[in-house]
Structure 1
């Protein structure tokens, strides 16, 4: 889930922090893709208007790793 989509939905950093019951600084520390735990929470509180996409959080397989 992209930070820009979440901020747009809630109307900014402060309102996003309030909606998720986290600190303003926590939201500011997010990268382009928000933490998975928060993404699941956003989907729940927006009643699916913003979707949690599990594939965005899958780890890339290590090159040369044995199955």
Structure 2
């Protein structure tokens, strides 16, 4: 999953970081791809709107 896809879903880096209970700086260090374990965490947090291991463009919650 692309980092930008997750950011777009949550609306901003701070909101994404808050949802994952991590820092803004941690999200900034990811590069283009969300780390694999974070992808699974995001899939669970979004009830499958974001899928681990694939690139998709879900509708934003914002």
Normalised TM-score (structure 2): 0.83
Q: CA RMSD in A?
A: 1.1
Match of 2:5 in 1: 5
Relative contact order (alpha carbons < 8 A, sep ≥ 6): 1 or 2 greater? 2
d(CA) in 2 for partners of 1:53 and 1:34?
Answer: 9
Give how far 1:53 is off: 1.4
Q: Which runs of 5+ in 1 are unaligned?
A: 55-67
Q: Which runs of 5+ in 2 are unaligned?
A: 55-62
Match of 1:36 in 2: 36
Match of 1:51 in 2: 51
> After TM superposition, which residue ranges in structure 1, 4 or more long, deviate above 6 angstroms?
none
d(CA) in 2 for partners of 1:53 and 1:36?
Answer: 7
Normalised TM-score (structure 1): 0.77
Secondary structure of 1:7 counterpart? helix
